């Protein structure tokens, strides 16, 4: 029948949306295309399609060393961020204590603070404590920066939890500890897994904080960074493409996990909103 | 409802972590900013205001800060310009494709910063994709120099990075607007355009403020994009700090600038929070 | 002035809105089938139905928030269903009130006038007049979040009425209010309608509410109109079994007509109806407890055992089990105490012939 919605659905809005998506994805597409280009990273049009750069990549020892380092760092950072982030979420959601407002702001600050401030402040700490810079300092840096991610994800999950379930558990004779493990934690499974996935991915990509805390061993982003200073080859395109694919899979997985039990607009926005002090 | 031991067990570990790794470092930075560095490259723990005086007196510091704020302002402007209509389209016109499109927007958000900045570098260079494409299509005879190693490149790249950041809170705010308010507005005689200006836009302002704050604060403190793409004319305040902690070895001065940045960011966050509360109606 | 004919037989009032063969489906889900309905000038019409009956959809079609799948809606000489909501001279009071949270009460009420670019002086006077009518003048500068549900409802009403629409639509506006406030608002709404004189279309699922307020009731079931009549007509002469059961309580009697006699279980009475099966509706209050020995002409008598008795204050309800599985619900004034056996009688004219109401998909 008559569609009166055309008045409020102007063509330009659609064109604009398409344009923004193009803007967001075009560089990545170019990157991927040129990873197959025999003639280098620039130069239009690309000729001489080849897998040469991927082969170089796979034979590149230092890159794989840095990948291993990154994996170790990401895993350790994930453990730390969850170990401190889950209790932090519980404390914020359940407990009242003096200084709670300050605590909340401090925990969430690294989300919105430029990485340089987090990195440098930690650098000064390690300097004063006499700690040598190494993978350990990077792990501590990532853990600190990403605790906030764990906290927001778990906090959101706690808010969805029906208090009555825990009260029923207590009513039926379980004590606080038992209730925590039998009722609370199982209900937090999804947020925790989601948080773990997100923290892992962010740690693998992290560069701003790592920049200042790096010792002898490089993480993958820093290894790439070093190469960039020396000269650009499509090998970097190749490794970037692979990083993109992994991130893609991880983020889609994370999103699907979050979607089970939450609205579209909330998944992902909490991270952003929490930094403004809303969600928490 | 919860016992004291439970509360203590849950609160103390994160509290400890936050104190050691967040609070103490900021305090340390505070202290450092009042110290100075000796000619022999050691930190002298004598308390003085030299660093802050330098910041005010030496031109390059506050000029760079102003340029950084100008760059951040432009990034914010463009991010909102791109992000708001996109959020509007997704929220009101995307129908059942909404979910898929939303995922498409957040994917670039979490994909490596480095990867994306590098991509722009390969596109904007004089031998880069864009320039060679323009020459190939006979649209230009020589490569356009301003594309790379300029503030333009920095603004472009940072807009690319932070548009999704701006989009998220705007989209959330738009989604929260009850649809029956729009129906009520139409019922009372307002056209869709009038409804947008009188109802939708005012109710989405908190989201816009949040998005703008994100884009501005994160751009302001960015040092990677200027390093990769900024060239000498695109240096931002964070680059100065990086060199002070590196080759120019003056930690106290670097700490002073960092502290100023920290205070600036915190005040902006505070201001943004107040504004959002003030303009929030739900 | 109210131009509605209250009793059939007076001159027909002017028709304001004409719904002609309107149908609506969402995909394969048919919500409205072939609805035809006229609304008179100055009439208070209630669209009554259960949830899922399509009543809200019908209202939204008239307001302009839904298109028709078939059929037309006319207002006067204009075809209404082709127009967007903001061009119709129709205003709506939403179930959730839909007040603009970022505007004050005053600004909310003024909204439609501002959009129409009326002069400020006119807006000011019309707004204060509207607020006075709903007794909310003191709250002019408040924000919606600061006033109660009942007060929000009045503001929603004022906001709609201030635009002087030709027709006001109310989508279950009282459902969120507690019982006392609801009764109070029913009275106020009715007198407001009389005062303002424009047609109201009121949607509700509450049959008592419909009876109290309406000039006419349009009973909707599964997307079709069961009956459109005044409250008295619909109560006294329900057209279908559903109408008889939905509005008030009734006894549905399955009967067979043979040679001028209606037989329903142990009940028999004379009737001029043609032979065949028939369904009758008999209201509980029309069944009396027998006092005298002689029955009047046309009365039907039956005796049964009292299986249930409940006290309702002014009345009492009794369930009587008779022969052949017949169970009758009786409503009488509370007086006598508990009984074991009841002698009942009713007048055969009170047994109203109704149509079947078949199950609809």
Does some domain include residue C112?
yes
The CA angle A86-A89-A91, to the nearest 5 degrees, is 110
B163 touches chain A (CB under 8 A): yes
Spatial separation of the C-alpha atoms in residues C343 and C339, rounded to whole Å? 10
Q: What is the pLDDT of residues A214-249, one digit of tens each?
A: 888 899 999 998 888 777 788 888 888 888 888 888
Q: What is the pLDDT of residues C22-74, one digit of tens each?
A: 999 988 899 999 999 999 999 999 999 999 899 999 999 999 888 899 999 99
- Domain hosting residue C123, numbered range: 15-240
Residue of chain A whose Cα is closest to the Cα of C68: A1
* Shortest alpha-carbon distance between residue A215 and chain B (Å): 14
Same domain, C150 and C189: yes
Does some domain include residue C32?
yes
Of the residues C206, C240, C274, the one at which a domain ends:
C240
Inter-chain CB proximity C67 and A7 less than 8 Å: no
Q: Is C93 helix (H, G, I), strand (E, B) or coil?
A: strand
Residue B259 is part of a domain; what is its CATH number?
Answer: 1.10.3720.10
Q: Is B252 helix (H, G, I), strand (E, B) or coil?
A: helix
Listed residue (C72, C105, C99, C158) closest to B183, CA to CA: C99
The DSSP letter of residue A238 is H
Does some domain include residue C7?
no
- List the single residue in A114, A224, A278 with the smallest CB-CB distance to B222: A114
Burial of B88 (0-12, 13-18, 19+ CB in 10 A): buried
Listed residue (B160, B179, B162) closest to B91, CA to CA: B179
B96 touches chain C (CB under 8 A): no
Spatial separation of the C-alpha atoms in residues B251 and A212, rounded to whole Å? 13
Does some domain include residue C219?
yes
* Shortest alpha-carbon distance between residue A148 and chain B (Å): 10
Inter-chain CB proximity C145 and B281 less than 8 Å: yes
Tell me how many residue pairs between chain A and chain B have CB atoms under 8 A apart: 286
Same domain, C125 and C203: yes
Domains belonging to chain A, first-starting first, are 60-274 (1.10.3720.10)
- Point out the least confidently predicted range of B70-74, C228-232, C296-300: C296-300
Q: What is the pLDDT of residues B56-93, one digit of tens each?
A: 888 888 889 999 999 999 999 999 999 999 999 999 99
A49 touches chain B (CB under 8 A): no
What are the b/e assignments for A111-121, b being 16+ CB within 10 Å?
A: bbbbbbbbbbb
Burial of C336 (0-12, 13-18, 19+ CB in 10 A): exposed
**Contact criterion met (CB below 8 Å) for A147 and A117:** no
Average pLDDT over residues C163-170: 93
Same domain, C268 and C336: yes
Best of C84, C85, C87, C88 to disrupt the A interface (most A CBs within 10 Å) is C84
Q: Which residue has the tokens 């010792």?
A: A215
B107 touches chain A (CB under 8 A): yes
Inter-chain CB proximity C84 and A1 less than 8 Å: no
Task: Answer whether residue C9 shows pLDDT above 70.
Answer: no
Pairing between β-strand C327-333 and β-strand C90-93 as defined by DSSP bridges: unpaired
Best of A1, A3, A6, A8 to disrupt the C interface (most C CBs within 10 Å) is A1
B185 touches chain C (CB under 8 A): yes
What is the predicted pLDDT for the residue at A277? 42
Q: What is the pLDDT of residues C130-146, one digit of tens each?
A: 999 999 999 999 999 89
Dig out the tokens for A111 from the structure.
Answer: 């989300």
C27 touches chain B (CB under 8 A): no
C65 touches chain B (CB under 8 A): yes
Same domain, C275 and C228: no
What is the predicted pLDDT for the residue at B183? 93
Spatial separation of the C-alpha atoms in residues B94 and B92, rounded to whole Å? 6
What is the predicted pLDDT for the residue at B213? 94
Does some domain include residue C1?
no
Tens-binned pLDDT, residue by residue, of chain B (282 aa): 456 777 788 888 888 998 899 989 999 999 888 888 777 777 777 788 888 888 888 888 888 999 999 999 999 999 999 999 999 999 999 888 888 898 889 888 877 888 888 889 888 887 777 878 877 788 777 777 778 888 899 999 999 999 999 999 999 999 999 999 999 999 999 999 999 999 999 999 999 999 999 999 999 999 999 998 888 888 999 999 999 888 888 888 889 999 999 999 999 999 998 998 888 875
Inter-chain CB proximity C68 and A1 less than 8 Å: yes
Of the residues C240, C264, C286, the one at which a domain ends:
C240
Inter-chain CB proximity C65 and B183 less than 8 Å: yes
Dig out the tokens for B280 from the structure.
Answer: 């929030």
Does some domain include residue C360?
no
B 35-74 residues with CB < 8 A to A: none
Does some domain include residue C68?
yes
Question: How remote is the C-alpha of C319 from its chain's centroid?
Answer: 28
- Contacts with B238 from chain A: Cβ below 8 Å: 114, 116
What is the predicted pLDDT for the residue at C12? 67
What is the predicted pLDDT for the residue at C1? 37
Crossing angle of helices A189-205 and A234-259, rounded to 10°? 170
Chains that touch A (3 or more CB pairs under 8 A): B, C
Best of B119, B134, B161 to disrupt the A interface (most A CBs within 10 Å) is B119
Question: How remote is the C-alpha of B78 from its chain's centroid?
Answer: 12
Spatial separation of the C-alpha atoms in residues A242 and A219, rounded to whole Å? 16
Task: Answer whether residue C90 shows pLDDT above 60.
Answer: yes
**Contact criterion met (CB below 8 Å) for B11 and B17:** no
Task: Answer whether residue A276 shows pLDDT above 60.
Answer: no
More confident residue, A259 or C326: C326
* Shortest alpha-carbon distance between residue C134 and chain B (Å): 18
Of the residues C240, C263, C279, the one at which a domain ends:
C240
What is the predicted pLDDT for the residue at B7? 77
Average pLDDT over residues C240-264: 91
Rounded to a whole number of angstroms, the distance between the first and last alpha carbons of chain B is 30
C68 touches chain A (CB under 8 A): yes
Best of A31, A114, A123, A154 to disrupt the B interface (most B CBs within 10 Å) is A114
- Contacts with A122 from chain B: Cβ below 8 Å: 21, 25
- Contacts with C100 from chain B: Cβ below 8 Å: 181, 184-185, 199
Q: Is C278 helix (H, G, I), strand (E, B) or coil?
A: strand
- What is chain C's mean pLDDT, rounded? 89
Q: Where are the alpha helices (DSSP H) in chain A?
A: 11-34, 52-59, 61-94, 100-112, 115-129, 135-160, 163-171, 176-179, 185-187, 189-205, 210-213, 220-230, 234-259, 269-274
Q: Is B55 helix (H, G, I), strand (E, B) or coil?
A: helix
**Contact criterion met (CB below 8 Å) for C91 and C199:** no
**Contact criterion met (CB below 8 Å) for C342 and C307:** no
Crossing angle of helices B59-93 and B151-176, rounded to 10°? 40
Same domain, C311 and C191: no
Does some domain include residue B163?
yes
- Contacts with B202 from chain C: Cβ below 8 Å: 102
Task: Answer whether residue C190 shows pLDDT above 50.
Answer: yes
Listed in sequence order, the residues at least 6 apart from C266 whose beta carbon sits closer than 8 Å to its beta carbon are: C302, C322, C323, C324, C326
Task: Answer whether residue C297 shows pLDDT above 50.
Answer: yes
More confident residue, B49 or C239: C239
Per the structure, the count of domains in chain B is 1
- Point out the least confidently predicted range of A115-119, A192-196, C189-193, C298-302: C298-302
Burial of A42 (0-12, 13-18, 19+ CB in 10 A): buried
Task: Answer whether residue C210 shows pLDDT above 90.
Answer: yes
- What is chain A's mean pLDDT, rounded? 82
Inter-chain CB proximity A117 and B221 less than 8 Å: yes
Question: How remote is the C-alpha of C70 from its chain's centroid?
Answer: 25
**Contact criterion met (CB below 8 Å) for B229 and B148:** yes
Spatial separation of the C-alpha atoms in residues C199 and C41, rounded to whole Å? 6
What is the predicted pLDDT for the residue at C119? 94
Inter-chain CB proximity B223 and A247 less than 8 Å: no
Same domain, C274 and C187: no
- Contacts with A2 from chain C: Cβ below 8 Å: 67, 81-82
Crossing angle of helices A220-230 and B113-124, rounded to 10°? 20
Does some domain include residue B18?
no
Q: What is the pLDDT of residues A166-204, one digit of tens each?
A: 777 777 777 777 778 887 888 888 889 989 998 998 899
Average pLDDT over residues A244-273: 69
Same domain, C88 and C105: yes
* Shortest alpha-carbon distance between residue B90 and chain C (Å): 21
Average pLDDT over residues A6-21: 82
Inter-chain CB proximity A2 and C69 less than 8 Å: no
Listing DSSP states for B71-132 in one string gives HHHHHHHHHHHHHHHHHHHHHHH-GGGHHHHHHHHHHHHHS-HHHHHHHHHHHHSTTSHHHH
Question: How remote is the C-alpha of A241 from its chain's centroid?
Answer: 18
What is the predicted pLDDT for the residue at C199? 96
C115 touches chain B (CB under 8 A): yes
What is the predicted pLDDT for the residue at A103? 85
Does some domain include residue B178?
yes
Q: What is the pLDDT of residues A79-98, one digit of tens each?
A: 999 999 998 998 888 777 77
In chain B, the DSSP E strands lie at: 36-37, 43-44
Same domain, C172 and C106: yes
Q: Where are the alpha helices (DSSP H) in chain C?
A: 55-63, 105-115, 120-133, 149-161, 179-196, 207-213, 231-236, 241-246
The CA angle C46-C47-C52, to the nearest 5 degrees, is 150
B6 touches chain A (CB under 8 A): yes
Per the structure, the count of domains in chain C is 2
Contacts within 8 Å (CB) and 24+ apart, C288-292: C288/C332, C288/C344, C288/C345, C288/C346, C289/C330, C289/C332, C289/C336, C289/C342, C289/C343, C289/C344, C290/C343, C290/C344, C290/C345
Inter-chain CB proximity B29 and A120 less than 8 Å: yes
Same domain, C263 and C233: no
Same domain, C224 and C253: no
Q: How sure is the predictor about A7, in pLDDT bands with cuts at 50, 70 and 90?
A: low
Residue C151 is part of a domain; what is its CATH number?
Answer: 3.40.50.300
**Contact criterion met (CB below 8 Å) for B256 and B33:** yes
- Contacts with A6 from chain C: Cβ below 8 Å: none
Does some domain include residue B107?
yes
Residue C305 is part of a domain; what is its CATH number?
Answer: 2.40.50.100
Dig out the tokens for B24 from the structure.
Answer: 């103490």
Burial of B254 (0-12, 13-18, 19+ CB in 10 A): buried
Spatial separation of the C-alpha atoms in residues B106 and B243, rounded to whole Å? 33
* Shortest alpha-carbon distance between residue C78 and chain A (Å): 16
Average pLDDT over residues A262-277: 50
Q: Is B48 helix (H, G, I), strand (E, B) or coil?
A: coil
Spatial separation of the C-alpha atoms in residues B71 and B211, rounded to whole Å? 16
Best of B5, B10, B29, B267 to disrupt the A interface (most A CBs within 10 Å) is B10
Does some domain include residue C359?
no
Q: How sure is the predictor about A266, in pLDDT bands with cuts at 50, 70 and 90?
A: low
What is the predicted pLDDT for the residue at B174? 94
> What backbone torsions phi and psi does residue A166 show, to the nearest 5 degrees?
-70, -40
Spatial separation of the C-alpha atoms in residues C40 and C140, rounded to whole Å? 34
Residues of A with CB under 8 A from a CB of C: 1-4, 7
Listed in sequence order, the residues at least 6 apart from C33 whose beta carbon sits closer than 8 Å to its beta carbon are: C23, C223, C224
**Contact criterion met (CB below 8 Å) for A254 and A197:** yes
Inter-chain CB proximity B180 and C96 less than 8 Å: yes
- Domain hosting residue B117, numbered range: 58-278
* Shortest alpha-carbon distance between residue B75 and chain A (Å): 14
Percent of chain A with pLDDT over 90: 27
B 180-219 residues with CB < 8 A to A: 191-193, 195, 210, 213-214, 217-218
**Contact criterion met (CB below 8 Å) for B237 and B68:** yes
Rounded to a whole number of angstroms, the distance between the first and last alpha carbons of chain A is 47
Inter-chain CB proximity A4 and C69 less than 8 Å: no
Spatial separation of the C-alpha atoms in residues B95 and A5, rounded to whole Å? 13
Pairing between β-strand C78-79 and β-strand C70-75 as defined by DSSP bridges: antiparallel
* Shortest alpha-carbon distance between residue B122 and chain A (Å): 6
Spatial separation of the C-alpha atoms in residues B162 and B154, rounded to whole Å? 12
Same domain, C52 and C200: yes
Same domain, C107 and C138: yes
- Contacts with C81 from chain A: Cβ below 8 Å: 2
Pairing between β-strand C167-171 and β-strand C199-204 as defined by DSSP bridges: parallel
Whether residue A45 has a cis bond before it, omega within 30° of 0: yes
Spatial separation of the C-alpha atoms in residues B199 and C48, rounded to whole Å? 33
């Amino acid at each position: 029948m008559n569609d009166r919605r055309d008045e409020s659905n102007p063509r330009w809005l659609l064109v604009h949306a398409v344009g923004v998506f193009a803007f967001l994805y075009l560089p990545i597409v170019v990157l991927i295309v040129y990873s197959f280009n025999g003639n280098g990273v620039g130069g239009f049009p690309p000729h001489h399609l080849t897998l040469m750069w991927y082969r170089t990549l796979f034979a590149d020892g230092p890159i794989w060393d840095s990948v291993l380092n990154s994996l170790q760092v990401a895993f350790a950072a994930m453990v730390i961020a969850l170990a401190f982030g889950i209790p932090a979420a519980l404390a914020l959601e359940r407990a009242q204590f003096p200084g709670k407002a300050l605590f909340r702001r401090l925990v969430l600050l690294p989300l919105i603070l430029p990485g340089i401030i987090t990195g440098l402040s930690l650098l000064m700490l390690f300097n004063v404590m006499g700690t040598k810079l190494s993978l350990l300092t990077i792990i501590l840096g990532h853990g600190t920066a990403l605790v906030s991610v764990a906290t927001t994800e778990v906090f959101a999950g706690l808010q969805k939890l029906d208090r009555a379930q825990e009260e029923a558990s207590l009513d039926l004779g379980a004590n606080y500890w038992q209730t925590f493990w039998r009722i609370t934690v199982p209900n937090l499974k999804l947020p925790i897994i989601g948080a773990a996935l997100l923290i892992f991915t962010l740690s693998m990509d992290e560069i701003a904080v790592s920049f200042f805390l790096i010792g002898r061993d490089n993480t993958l982003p820093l290894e790439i960074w070093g190469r960039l200073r020396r000269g650009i080859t499509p090998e970097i395109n190749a490794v970037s493409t692979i990083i993109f694919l992994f991130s893609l899979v991880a983020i889609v997985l994370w999103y699907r996990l979050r979607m089970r039990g939450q609205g579209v607009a909330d998944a992902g926005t909490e991270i952003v909103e929490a930094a403004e002090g809303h969600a928490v | 409802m919860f016992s004291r031991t439970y509360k203590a067990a849950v609160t103390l570990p994160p509290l400890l972590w936050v104190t050691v790794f967040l609070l103490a470092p900021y305090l340390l930075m505070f202290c450092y900013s009042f110290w100075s560095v000796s000619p022999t490259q050691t930190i002298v723990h004598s308390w003085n205001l030299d660093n802050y005086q330098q910041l005010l007196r030496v031109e390059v510091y506050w000029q760079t800060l102003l340029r950084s704020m100008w760059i951040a302002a432009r990034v914010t402007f463009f991010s909102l310009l791109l992000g708001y209509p996109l959020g509007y389209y997704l929220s009101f016109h995307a129908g059942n494709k909404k979910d898929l499109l939303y995922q498409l927007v957040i994917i670039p958000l979490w994909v490596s910063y480095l990867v994306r900045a590098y991509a722009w570098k390969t596109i904007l260079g004089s031998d880069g994709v864009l320039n060679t494409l323009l020459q190939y299509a006979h649209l230009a005879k020589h490569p356009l120099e301003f594309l790379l190693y300029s503030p333009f490149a920095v603004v472009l790249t940072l807009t690319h990075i932070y548009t999704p950041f701006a989009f998220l809170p705007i989209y959330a705010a738009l989604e929260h607007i009850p649809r029956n308010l729009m129906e009520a507005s139409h019922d009372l005689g307002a056209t869709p355009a009038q409804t947008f200006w009188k109802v939708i836009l005012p109710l989405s302002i908190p989201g816009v403020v949040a998005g703008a704050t994100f884009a501005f604060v994160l751009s302001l403190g960015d040092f990677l994009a200027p390093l990769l793409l900024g060239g000498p004319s695109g240096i931002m305040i964070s680059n100065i700090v990086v060199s002070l902690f590196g080759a120019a070895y003056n930690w106290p001065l670097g700490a002073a600038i960092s502290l100023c940045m920290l205070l600036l960011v915190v005040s902006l966050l505070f201001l943004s929070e107040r504004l959002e509360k003030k303009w929030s109606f739900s | 002035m109210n131009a509605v004919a209250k009793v059939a037989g007076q001159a027909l009032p002017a028709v304001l809105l004409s719904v002609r063969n309107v149908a609506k489906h969402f995909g394969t889900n048919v919500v409205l089938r072939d609805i035809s309905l006229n609304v008179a000038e100055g009439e208070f019409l209630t669209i009554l139905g259960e949830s899922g009956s399509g009543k809200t959809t019908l209202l939204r079609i008239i307001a302009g928030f839904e298109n028709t799948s078939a059929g037309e809606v006319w207002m006067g000489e204009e075809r209404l269903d082709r127009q967007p909501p903001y061009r119709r001279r129709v205003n709506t009071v939403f179930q959730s009130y839909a007040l603009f949270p970022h505007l004050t009460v005053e600004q909310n009420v003024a909204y439609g006038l501002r959009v129409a670019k009326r002069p400020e002086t006119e807006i000011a006077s019309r707004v204060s007049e509207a607020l006075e009518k709903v007794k909310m003048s003191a709250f002019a500068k408040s924000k919606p979040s600061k006033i109660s549900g009942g007060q929000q409802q009045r503001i929603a009403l004022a906001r709609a009425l201030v635009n002087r629409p030709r027709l006001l639509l109310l989508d279950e506006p009282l459902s969120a209010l507690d019982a006392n406030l609801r009764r109070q608002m029913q009275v106020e709404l009715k007198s407001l309608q009389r005062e303002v004189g424009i047609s109201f279309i009121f949607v509700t699922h509450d049959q008592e509410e419909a009876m109290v307020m309406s000039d006419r009731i349009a009973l909707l079931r599964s997307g079709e109109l069961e009956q459109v009549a005044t409250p008295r007509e619909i109560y006294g002469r329900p057209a279908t079994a559903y109408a008889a059961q939905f509005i008030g309580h009734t006894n549905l009697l399955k009967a067979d007509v043979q040679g001028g006699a209606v037989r329903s279980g142990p009940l028999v009475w004379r009737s001029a109806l043609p032979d065949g099966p028939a369904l009758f509706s008999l209201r509980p209050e029309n069944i009396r407890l027998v006092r005298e020995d002689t029955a009047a002409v046309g009365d039907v008598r039956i005796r049964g055992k009292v299986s249930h008795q409940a006290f309702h204050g002014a009345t009492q309800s009794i369930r009587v089990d008779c022969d052949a599985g017949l169970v009758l619900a009786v409503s009488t004034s509370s007086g006598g105490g508990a009984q074991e056996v009841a002698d009942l009688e009713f007048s055969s004219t009170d047994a109203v012939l109704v149509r079947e109401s078949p199950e609809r998909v």
